[in-house]
């Protein structure tokens, strides 16, 4: 099987992206991180790309007012990307990009979808909702991106306990730790054909 070429979209820290890059470098994941795109010129994700020697682009409505989607598609195609990895990308992806890479775009969400997903459910809002509902378990979900927020086919999930004295910070840290394991594992299953996109 040819090596899977990965393209990343990230807005801020990019810790999931880094976990995947590390797993590729160690051989745990048989894939090539090829390009990183961020809407945020000062994102840690772009700094990480630079440190890793991975080509990176700042693409946003500020830089490409007349065509964010086209600019993204051009960059992903230039680097022969097979699968797009959303890693904390805070913008809604354009329909044009979703259609061009239909079924080949992954996202990680910090709760057990289909619960606690949808518009407005991101970052601390997700964990707040989980805590408010008194859930006993939470955990990340890797899913395919389609035109509806947090809606596409679920590929993998990992449960973590929610403790009575948890707050948003303790719960999000526990979930994020598992994200860093689940995302590379899932990409490897795609790379070895165990999961077919
Ligand atoms: C993670 O919590 C992920 O679930 C969500 O965005 C966050 C990204 O964190 N989609 P990082 O940028 O990978 O550190």
Main-chain dihedrals φ then ψ at residue 32, nearest 5 degrees: -110, 115
Residue 149's pLDDT is: 86
The verdict on the CB of residue 15 being under 6 Å from ligand 1 is yes
Cα separation of 30 and 153, whole Å? 23
Question: Is 109 part of the annotated catalytic residue set?
Answer: yes
| Domain 4-109+140-157+178-191: homologous superfamily in CATH | Formyl transferase, N-terminal domain (3.40.50.170)
Residue 73's pLDDT is: 98
Over the chain (197 residues), the average pLDDT of each successive run of 10 is 91 96 97 98 97 97 93 98 96 95 97 95 96 98 93 97 98 98 98 97
CA distances from 166 to 4, 131, 132 (A): 38, 8, 11
Lookup result for tokens 């051989």: 27
- β-partners of residue 156 are 142
Residue 86's pLDDT is: 98
Give 173's Cβ-side CA count (13 Å radius).
Answer: 6
- β-partners of residue 31 are 4
Stated pTM of the model: 0.96
Nearest ligand 1 atom to the CA of 172 is 2
Query: What is the Cα Rg of the chain in Å?
Result: 16
Q: Which of 22, 48, 108 to mutate to test the pocket of ligand 1 (most atoms within 8 A of CB)?
A: 108
Q: Is the alpha carbon torsion for 94, 42, 173, 169 positive or negative? A: negative
């Amino acid at each position: 099987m040819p090596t899977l070429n990965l393209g990343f979209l990230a807005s801020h820290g990019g810790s999931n992206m880094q976990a995947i890059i590390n797993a590729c470098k160690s051989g745990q994941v048989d894939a090539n991180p090829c390009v990183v795109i961020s809407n945020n010129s000062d994102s840690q994700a772009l700094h990480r790309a630079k440190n890793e020697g991975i080509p990176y682009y700042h693409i946003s409505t500020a830089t490409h007012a007349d065509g964010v989607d086209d600019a993204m598609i051009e960059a992903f195609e230039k680097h022969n990307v097979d699968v797009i990895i959303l890693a904390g990308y805070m913008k809604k992806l354009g329909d044009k990009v979703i259609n061009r890479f239909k079924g080949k775009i992954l996202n990680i969400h910090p709760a057990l979808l289909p619960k606690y997903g949808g518009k407005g459910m991101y970052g601390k809002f997700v964990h707040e909702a989980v805590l408010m509902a008194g859930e006993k378990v939470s955990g990340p979900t890797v899913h395919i991106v389609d035109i509806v927020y947090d809606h596409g086919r679920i590929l993998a999930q990992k449960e973590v306990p929610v403790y009575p004295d948890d707050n948003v910070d303790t719960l999000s840290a526990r979930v994020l730790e598992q994200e860093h394991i689940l995302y590379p594992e899932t990409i490897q299953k795609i790379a070895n054909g165990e999961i077919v996109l």
